[in-house]
């Protein structure tokens, strides 16, 4: 057995930044944190220098990566490519996300994730189904012809998937489901998220009371906060019980809107997502989704009519963006690590025993190195 101590200028323990500490790793597993002064002389010390060591990122909204889209081929091979691409970008745990599609593709996605987890593909934590039970008035880049209300067969499929998968997240619009359906999903352990919706604040809170606990990519593809109707945005910002996902590329959300949202929400109730598409971890300048061309240009992914279609974003850049807006590094790192991890029941932080999945971020918050099960991924 080989015991190695990794140290850097600071280590993020899931809540605070620590100095003069090191991360103990043995045979691909984390043993915990220790002060450098207490290490025995026999321990190998790897000093990474300036920057921060942190738990690997957990990304709950990943549509594609490494040149492939989950919708195009919901298979174990696609999931393996996505997990590898996002691992190299620091996201050591992801929820592959299926955008609104046919029932057949949805079933294939569930089967693929089940098989990938059974085969031990590192990084696949579960599945996020973003649709098809959305509001066509807020379709965004989702193909309207596939959007539809939830029927009994759909509910049965989701309840079965919840039994098969360690994590199932489902984004729905209150107009496309009943409160009883939300309750059934939540009671089965499904993480029910509200999104792509024109709902009123009252409808959003009724869904929350039925079991919804999350909001998908806050501000985007949803009813906005207005003087006489708070909408889904207002409900998410002012009421408790709704975690909010944020695409912090400074394109999907204006910097001042990000500041306002994080000021309004209690600490620990927002998390970062990449909403990544096929281009993540690749040099592609375009790809297709449901037969429609999506172009990558100047940090944006857009359909031909200019509609934003996912994000050209890595979580390390999202972290750098939030820190540049004055959000504390501790709060920002938690939004990419411990908060989303806790939401899906993963071990959190570097203080608990578990797989040695961690990253080193340089002084400018750029990703320097990634380790998965103790193995460095970047060469």
Active site residues: 275
* Burial degree of 290 (CB within 10 A; 0-12, 13-18, 19+): middle
Q: What's the rounded Cα separation, in Å, for the pair 23 and 52? A: 11
Tokens of 247: 């695409």
Tokens of 187: 């009671």
Pairing of strands 21-26, 29-35: antiparallel
Whether a cis peptide bond, with omega within 30° of 0, leads into 132 is yes
Distances (CA, A) of 203 to 34, 192, 298: 49, 15, 37
Q: What's the rounded Cα separation, in Å, for the pair 307 and 302? A: 5
């Amino acid at each position: 057995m080989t015991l190695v101590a990794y140290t850097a200028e600071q280590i993020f323990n899931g809540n605070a930044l620590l100095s003069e500490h090191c991360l103990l790793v043995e045979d691909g597993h984390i043993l915990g944190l220790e002060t450098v002064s207490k290490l025995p002389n026999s321990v190998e010390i790897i000093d990474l220098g300036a920057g921060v060591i942190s738990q690997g990122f957990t990304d709950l909204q990943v549509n594609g990566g490494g040149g492939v889209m989950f919708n195009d081929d919901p298979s174990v091979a696609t999931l393996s490519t996505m997990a590898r691409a996002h691992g190299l970008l620091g996201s050591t745990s992801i929820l592959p996300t299926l955008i609104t599609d046919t029932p057949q593709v949805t079933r294939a996605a569930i089967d693929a994730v089940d098989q990938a987890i059974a085969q031990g593909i590192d990084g696949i934590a579960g599945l996020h189904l973003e649709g098809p039970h959305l509001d066509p008035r807020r379709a965004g880049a989702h193909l309207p012809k596939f959007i539809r209300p939830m029927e009994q067969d759909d509910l049965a499929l989701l309840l079965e998937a919840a039994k098969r998968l360690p994590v199932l997240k489902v984004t729905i619009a209150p107009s496309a489901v009943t409160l009883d359906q939300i309750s059934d999903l939540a009671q089965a352990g499904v993480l029910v998220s509200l999104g792509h919706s024109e709902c009123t604040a009252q409808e959003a809170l009724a869904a929350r009371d039925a079991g919804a606990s999350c909001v998908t990519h806050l501000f985007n593809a949803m009813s906005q906060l207005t003087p006489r109707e708070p909408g889904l945005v207002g409900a998410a910002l002012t009421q408790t019980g709704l975690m909010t996902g944020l695409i912090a590329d400074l394109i999907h959300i204006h910097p001042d809107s990000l500041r306002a949202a994080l000021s309004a929400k209690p600490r620990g109730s927002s998390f970062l997502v990449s909403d990544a598409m096929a281009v993540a971890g690749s040099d592609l300048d375009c790809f297709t989704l449901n037969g429609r061309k999506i172009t990558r240009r100047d940090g944006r992914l857009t359909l031909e009519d200019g509609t934003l279609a996912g994000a050209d974003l890595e979580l390390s850049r999202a972290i750098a963006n939030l820190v540049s807006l004055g959000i504390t590094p501790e709060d920002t790192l938690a939004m990419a690590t411990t908060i989303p991890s806790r939401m899906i029941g993963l071990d959190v932080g570097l203080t608990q025993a578990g797989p040695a999945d961690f990253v080193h971020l340089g002084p400018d918050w750029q990703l320097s190195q990634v380790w998965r099960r103790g193995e460095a991924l970047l060469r």
